Amino acid sequence: MIQALVPLALLANGIAAGVMLGNAIGLAAHALRLPYPGYVDLIKFMWPRYDPFLPITNVLAFGLDIAIAVIVHGERGGAGAPGLFGLSAVLLAVLMAISLLKNVPINKYVIALDPASPPEDWSERDPRASWKNWNQIRVVLSMAALVANLAGAAVLL
């Protein structure tokens, strides 16, 4: 069973990490340059495409990491591979918490805006810098989780 779970965990985590990195160096960077109407339109276009895709891949990788850590620990004991897959699960849990507590509320705020009519206090409420900062943390966590997963897989080889 472990021969099927490890590739699935690597696939789910790798896809999520790649999409998040691509977003961070491409679309999210572009969003910072857009005027208000273009930014709101971009988020309204992107958010339903990235959500639920990224949450599903991150939850899948998280669940698989936990399952692998438990199975491998039960079969072999020790802290090598189980510890690495467990570390990946912890990193993904932190990533998902940041998503739920920081990035999702910002996205919900932006998609509720009218692109044709910015709030009068937009210059004070513009969430792009905050979203970018939290997203960069999530990208680092996702990449670190992928490295931990790859290291765990290498230990199992």
What does the alpha-carbon distance between residue 91 and residue 109 come to, in Å, rounded to a whole number?
Answer: 26
Given this model, what pLDDT does residue 77 score?
57
DSSP per-residue codes, 51-80: TTHHHHHHHHHHHHHHHHHHHHHHHH-SSS
Decide if 122 contacts 116 (C-beta within 8 A): no
Decide if 89 contacts 70 (C-beta within 8 A): no
The pLDDT tens digits for 35-59 are 999 999 999 999 999 989 999 999 9
Domain ranges of the chain: 2-156
Q: Is the alpha carbon torsion for 104, 20, 27, 32 positive or negative? A: positive
Decide if 16 contacts 65 (C-beta within 8 A): no
The pLDDT tens digits for 83-108 are 999 999 999 999 999 999 999 999 99
Given this model, what pLDDT does residue 1 score?
87
At residue 153, what is the residue type?
A
Decide if 143 contacts 17 (C-beta within 8 A): yes
The vertex-13 CA angle with 7 and 19, nearest 5°, equals 130
Q: Is the pLDDT of residue 118 over 90?
A: yes
Q: Which of 51, 20, 26, 31 is nearest to 128 (CA)?
A: 31
| Residue recorded with tokens 């591979």 | 81
